[in-house]
Amino acid sequence: MKKRIGILTSGGDCPGLNATIRGVAKACFEKFGEDNIEIVGVVDGYYGLINNETKIMKPSDFSGILTQGGTILGTKRQPYKLMQVIGEDNVDKVKNMKETYKKQKLDCLLTLGGNGTHKTSNLLSQEGLNVIGLPKTIDNDIYGTDVTFGFHTAVDTATDVIDRLHTTAASHSRILVVEIMGNKAGWLTLNAGIAGGADIIIIPEIPYDIDKVADAVMERNNAGKDFSIVAVAEGAFSKAEAEMKKKERAKKRLEAGETTATNRIARQIQEITGSEARVCVPGHMLRGGSPSAYDRILATKFGVYAASLLAEEKYGRTVAMVNGKITSNKLEDIAGKARLVDPKHQLVKTARDLGVSFGG
């Protein structure tokens, strides 16, 4: 009997999405035969599932995409917190997604995405749909897996940014504060900071004391090193802010005219130390470009494993890597949880032993 599966990519794009799509498709063609499988591409993530925007994909659609960044299916953000809320458009999003699944006569839906994507995947699974998730995010913060595809490429890119900042910082005797993506988790900043030789690393899991940050800069100055590189995760906050609720933090920053921690940190460092501080924000460059060799392999392994789950009709699960082995977790066990940096993690200890300051 011919199987018909849907694939969507949701949330922010990242390198490796197309490699994963390719891995799923090629493995399915091998397992079932090209005449026994139909792959339906859902356009723009859950938005496409809500609005029944789909396209039948041919084997040729999966050729030449291993090295391609972004996603050939497109993606839009559909916040999980609004999935079960009927807005002014009077659209029942969950009902529509279930109807699209039935209209397209899908046997299974594969969802490639991060934490929000997995929460919606679990919701659809509990609503009776056959769902298999694949963990994507440059933040590397999906619970239950040691690594997500897209992360290593983003580390490479962020490291390259920091590498380039060293030469200009040294030439101008400046403090360069680089903002790295990562709203709740500091994995990307931590890894790139160590790989790029940052002098100070500030992540959300370790709230900072600006005086300690400034002290680290002054210690370098006193040692004859007249420049410093400060790697800051975009979601970082001070120890004082750690005592506030999210809305209160946002209000305080807005009142001060500094909506990001990075800008405030740069200003405060300059005021305290007297050294010129500049901010660099690579932003979406960290998500762009071709996946690294590591991510191409990881994405392919994840895609092939998802095809195996499909063949075995093991639904309501998401692919994972645990201790170097590709496996899967129940969606209900990982949805709504985040994998954050433990302040006692070995990587943190490694950085501290090198003399890197975390400002806390």
How much is the pLDDT for 51? 96
Q: Is the pLDDT of residue 69 over 80?
A: yes
Task: Tell me which DSSP letter residue 312 carries.
Answer: T
Task: Tell me which DSSP letter residue 149 carries.
Answer: B
Q: Is the pLDDT of residue 5 over 90?
A: yes
Asked if 179 and 124 sit in the same domain, the reply is no
Domain around 209 = 154-287
CA 174, 175, 178, 182: dihedral to nearest 10 degrees?
180
Asked if 58 and 126 sit in the same domain, the reply is yes
Assess if residue 131 is contained within a domain. yes
Assess if residue 352 is contained within a domain. no
How much is the pLDDT for 316? 97
| Domain count for the chain | 2
How much is the pLDDT for 204? 96
pLDDT confidence bin for 360, thresholds 50/70/90: confident
Beta strands in the chain (DSSP E): 3-9, 37-42, 54-57, 108-113, 131-135, 175-180, 200-202, 228-233, 277-280, 317-322, 325-330
Based on the residue annotation, tell me whether 92 is a catalytic residue of this protein: no
Instruction: Answer whether 27's CB lies under 8 Å from 307's CB.
Output: yes
Instruction: Answer whether 28's CB lies under 8 Å from 37's CB.
Output: yes
Domain end point (choices 225, 256, 287) = 287
Asked if 93 and 121 sit in the same domain, the reply is yes
Asked if 23 and 107 sit in the same domain, the reply is yes
- Residues 178-185 have a mean pLDDT of 95
How much is the pLDDT for 88? 86
Residues 6+ apart with CB under 8 A from 260: 179, 234, 253
How much is the pLDDT for 249? 81
Per-residue pLDDT tens over the stretch 301-332: 999 999 999 999 999 999 999 999 999 999 99
Instruction: Answer whether 74's CB lies under 8 Å from 9's CB.
Output: yes
**Threshold 0.75, pTM exceeds:** yes
Asked if 196 and 276 sit in the same domain, the reply is yes
Per-residue pLDDT tens over the stretch 218-269: 999 999 999 999 999 999 999 998 888 888 888 887 877 777 899 999 999 9
What is the domain-level CATH number for residue 313?
3.40.50.450
How much is the pLDDT for 243? 86
Instruction: Answer whether 343's CB lies under 8 Å from 204's CB.
Output: no
- Active-site entry in 13, 44, 61, 139: 139
Average pLDDT of the chain to the nearest whole number: 95
Q: Is the pLDDT of residue 340 over 90?
A: yes
What is the domain-level CATH number for residue 181?
3.40.50.460
Place of tokens 């002014």: 88
Asked if 216 and 195 sit in the same domain, the reply is yes
Asked if 99 and 168 sit in the same domain, the reply is no
Instruction: Answer whether 40's CB lies under 8 Å from 56's CB.
Output: yes
Beta strands in 115-193 (DSSP E): 131-135, 175-180
pLDDT confidence bin for 44, thresholds 50/70/90: very high
